[in-house]
Amino acid sequence: MSSALEQRPFGRTGEKVSVIGLGGAALYKHSYELGVATVKHALDLGVSYFDTSPAYGRAGAHGSWTDRGMSQLIMGEGLDGTTRPNLLATKLINYTTDVRGSTSRSPVAANPIGYRTVEDCRAQLFDNLRALRRDRVDVLLGHDIRELSTILVGASTPEEIEENVVAAQAGPLPPDIHQALEGLHEEENIQEA
């Protein structure tokens, strides 16, 4: 039974989403099953925007994450079989995911290479989609922009990455993020979505 939550425009995309979304950072706080139930309950309440990341698992000591990747697996199972009007966002991180044949529930392993090449981005997006049980996502973001050296513009499937990826030598950002983004535009290192 879906309640009617107020809908608002999602940026300039033309899509509308519920005024309340479900962030996936805490989905694995108690258990996998409770996380899946939370996603399904959010759907029942009319939530239509869902955000996750392969970085999210269980919060550990001193702000570290353990069991990275669990949020995507939970979100994938909870949203399995649903389609629009739900919008799903995930991220690329400086870790790789590999759920193929994994016997462990936690699918993420540290990788110093991260998402520095088109191939890294493509592989990580494939792994994200597999965990999410989807063939595409609506929003693809990058965690930790200071480390991001490949910018994805408008790509939500692995096939679109090669068309939409532009190399940008992004180092540490200046205090004013707008100056940094203007500099990238001036250098024609990114394209408007």
The arithmetic mean of pLDDT across residues 129-156, rounded, is: 69
Radius of gyration of the chain measured on its C-alpha atoms: 17
The arithmetic mean of pLDDT across residues 63-81, rounded, is: 87
What global pTM score does this model have? 0.68
pLDDT at 73 over 80: yes
Give the residue with greater pLDDT, 171 vs 109. 109
Domain ranges of the chain: 7-147
Give the residue with greater pLDDT, 69 vs 185. 69
CB 49 within 8 A of CB 86: yes
pLDDT averaged over every residue in the chain: 71
Instruction: Say which CATH superfamily domain 7-147 falls into.
Output: NADP-dependent oxidoreductase domain (3.20.20.100)
